Structure 1
Amino acid sequence: MLALVLAGALTACTDSSGADDEGDTKPGGASTSASAAPPGKYRTLPEPCGTVNINTLKDMLPGAAASEDAESDPDSPTADASPSPFEGEASETYDTDRRSGCRWKNATTLSTRHLNVDFERVVSYDPAVSDDQQAERLYDRKASKAEIPVSSASPDNDGGDGEGDQTQEDQSGDGKGSKKGSPDGGASPSGDSPSAKGSSAPKDPKDSEGPKDSEDSTDSQEPAQGGSSSPGTDEDLAPRTLDDIGDTAYINDKLDTGDSGLHRDITLVFRTANVIATVEYDQWVTDKHRIPDSRELQDKARKLAEQLAAHFEEE
């Protein structure tokens, strides 16, 4: 009798142990670890000052070629006085594999133009969120701040916990990102419109003073005084999403007629995989009867963005 009891107990222990072993290996069990999200496509960033070709710079900075010729002429009083306007000035960042940018400026007797290009490689620190998904969230947040309709289907437009973006913002040299806030054309890595709060400081209108010449082109329509606005009733120039640049893109257009000087600011942001690229292009004038042309500035910004997107696709 005692032998039967002991045999039954031994059989029960063996069955229990087998059940536990089976549970450990069952899919979804406590010992099964979730697979990490895949890394982003891009592990480095291009050198931005060398990414924009000279012909594009000549087109976007009218009059710069004449200025460069004068500086290279040994008989010119401005010879060797300043570097070529086509060289560009690199943005200072802690890690150029995570964030890089370059800015250009050219002033004629009619107006001053600034061009800024910024690249941000987004990295997710959540193993359940891929780098591409984190970049999509950051892009959507930028588009939402600029009041652009969001075209992507991100499950978390409000950015979740925002940990990844905080890290991205800290990549710049001042801990907040290089921002364009003066006529010297500082970088604005956030990609937000210069009219968005906190994205730009007043520029010195002295950069664009002087008599008019024919090197630059502007409209002759007089704008309303004060404040800022979008391009008006022309729907094809209004702030909008773009379907043919990168994975997703938008363009923003703001006209500012405040006391600091009349200027039009174009911001084009596109995402390709885990990289967000921003093109900022503006024109400043002091004659408020000559409005910077929206279509011209937008077309030039789009052409540059298409070239940059193609550069990433080739990698």
Structure 2
Amino acid sequence: MTQTPDILCIGSVLWDVIGRAPVAMRQGSDVAGRISRLPGGVAMNIAMTLSRFGLTPALLTAIGRDAEGDELIAACKARGMMTDTIYRSDDLPTDRYMAVEGANGLIAAIADAHSLEAAGAKILAPLSDGSLARPWTGPVALDGNLTIDLLSDIAASPLLQQADLRVAPASPGKADRLMPFLRTGNGTLYVNLEEAGLLCSAQFDSSADAAQALLDRGAARALVTDGGNSASEGSPAGVITQTPPKVLVTRVTGAGDTFMAAHIAAETRGANREEALQRALTAAATYVSGGNPA
């Protein structure tokens, strides 16, 4: 490997198939809209935003040796990501995600990340085979599409004990996979209000309450978003809260990943807590309104 990455992005890199309609939808709706296919997955979305902010991410994931996989690798390279660290499988297909969005937000989604789960610890080989600095001491963006066993291993791994771990669930349905990071008190958690409630077995009225509850449950640090409502960051120094800009929402898939990546990029450049949260909220607002944050 001739280039050293600024950050590792570990998790799902796949094809997003997104159907969007300009009208409000409900179960059973059949409306006109647009269907697009683009590179996606939590790790990929984070890496794309980091690249736009001038960082060089390396991807640790599983991609099949099929036509879709070759096309996805090319898309990653074109977006400034390092792909030598990707595990290519001969017998596992490239993963996919499908979602339907209306003017009233996400209607339904299905994540097919079975190949990533099946590859398991094979995706972490670059951390131990000399491909990357050992131990890794830089930032790591980690997503919850990995199995609970693998996430537990990562939370306690000596190869990442000195790393700046940033962790997000892939969806509310996978929020409980972040429990190992509460038990070890390792890493910064990026969750929405629903996910925070699932991790704490509670319901919260505000992001500030949720951030404090995560700290009380053992989190080293937590950022909690709540759509267009206030977002909060909790750490041993206390909880801070800010309100995102008001924008017209044109897309929602990937907004949380954009928020996380922008926050990491801001702190990498030396921003303080308040500045980093503000930049992350602005980037996410730009994204959901249809723009590309940079």
Larger RCO (CA within 8 A; separation ≥ 6): 1
Higher strand share: 2
Q: Same fold (TM over 0.5)?
A: no
TM-score, structure 1 normalization? 0.32
TM-score, structure 2 normalization? 0.33
Higher helix share: 2
Q: Highest Rg: 1 or 2?
A: 1
